[in-house]
């Protein structure tokens, strides 16, 4: 089990590196496109498609790092009024619910991806098949599912609890 968690953390870190690289490429594409439009009145062909693909990579591949690092938006109304063991139970339930929801989303994404492949959809500027973008999103979402499963299996992190007023 410890080896699975260690490998999962490595995969999620690699996904985060890809997401950061995609964010950098996306920013540089936008800057270069704006510069080319301003300086030479010649926009970069395919910049919309590049930005869209990089955005998909940045969002889906960083999802696992957000989940595994417990950086989600948390509203801790109950944490202040219930005992710590109950907060631990709530964290376990939340981790399990997160895993179920992300697995449902991953499975729900498969049908549109397959339809995109079957119908031969392509991006307008680069003539890139749309199923490639769906595949990128599915792989990235699988990192989020992996992170949520790891959160279910590993010990619960202590909550940020402030006992002093």
Q: What is the pLDDT of residue 157?
A: 64
Delimit the domains of the chain by residue range: 2-153
Eight-class DSSP state of 154: S
CA distance 113 to 132: 9
Q: What is the pLDDT of residue 160?
A: 53
> Could you read off the pLDDT tens digit of each residue along the chain, which spans 165 residues?
889 999 999 999 999 999 999 999 999 999 999 999 999 999 999 999 999 999 999 999 999 999 998 888 777 788 888 888 888 888 889 889 999 999 999 999 999 999 999 999 998 888 999 999 999 999 999 999 999 999 988 876 665 544 444
Do 11 and 146 contact (CB within 8 A), yes or no?
Answer: yes
CA distances from 84 to 30, 88, 148 (A): 48, 6, 22
Record the pTM: 0.84
Token pair 């590993």 is found at: 154
């Amino acid at each position: 089990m410890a080896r699975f968690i260690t490998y999962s953390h490595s995969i999620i870190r690699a996904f985060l590196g890809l997401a950061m690289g995609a964010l950098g490429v996306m920013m540089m594409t936008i800057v270069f496109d704006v510069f080319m439009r301003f300086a030479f009145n010649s926009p970069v062909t395919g910049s919309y498609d590049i930005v869209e693909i990089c955005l998909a990579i940045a969002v889906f591949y960083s999802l696992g790092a957000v989940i595994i690092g417990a950086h989600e938006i948390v509203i801790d109304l109950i944490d202040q009024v219930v005992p710590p063991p109950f907060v631990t139970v709530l964290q376990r339930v939340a981790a399990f619910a997160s895993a179920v929801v992300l697995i449902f989303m991953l499975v729900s994404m498969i049908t549109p991806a397959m339809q995109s492949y079957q119908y031969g959809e392509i991006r307008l500027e680069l003539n890139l098949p749309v199923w490639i973008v769906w595949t990128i999103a599915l792989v990235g979402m699988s990192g989020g599912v992996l992170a949520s499963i790891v959160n279910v299996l590993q010990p619960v992190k202590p909550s940020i609890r402030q006992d002093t007023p």
